Amino acid sequence: MKKNLIVLASIAVVGFLLIQLVPYRISNPSTRQEPKWDSPQTRALAVRACFDCHSNEVKTPWYGKVAPVSWWLTNHVDDGRAKLNYSDWNNAHGEGAGDAAETVLNGSMPPSYYTWFGLHPSAKLTPAEKQQLAAGLRLTR
């Protein structure tokens, strides 16, 4: 019994180490064109709450470099950028700033799990900040 546990633990450790060799990481291509922000405050709120998934300025946390979390985060960021990328505004497809404003107001962005366990505390917007960000996004082109 004890020998089986040692073998299983060894297999798990070796498997974990092997999956680290799969180079699946978030890349940050250069910023092409940001939108014409209505104000510096709108941009600052968007940076706080949106840029880690919807820009080419993603700050990957230490645990985001460890597989399999790195795989999940990379897919999440790729999906976010496909819907809206503030760093590639001229080639925007999917949501626009108006749609982004609605997702902020209805509470689906930033997603609640993004701030679970104290992660990304600056992305947790107050109701007033959500109103300000949504109003600013509606005026952003």
Q: pLDDT (tens digit, 9 = 90+) per residue, 1-17?
A: 888 999 999 999 999 98
Cβ atoms 74, 52 nearer than 8 A: no
| Cα 76 to Cα 112: distance, rounded to the nearest angstrom | 14
Question: How many C-beta atoms surround the C-beta of residue 130 within 10 A?
Answer: 19
pLDDT at 32 over 90: no
- What is the residue extent of each domain of the chain? 2-139
Which of 61, 84, 82 minimizes the C-alpha distance to 73?
A: 61
| Cα 80 to Cα 33: distance, rounded to the nearest angstrom | 17
94-120 confidence digits (pLDDT tens) = 567 788 899 999 999 988 888 888 888
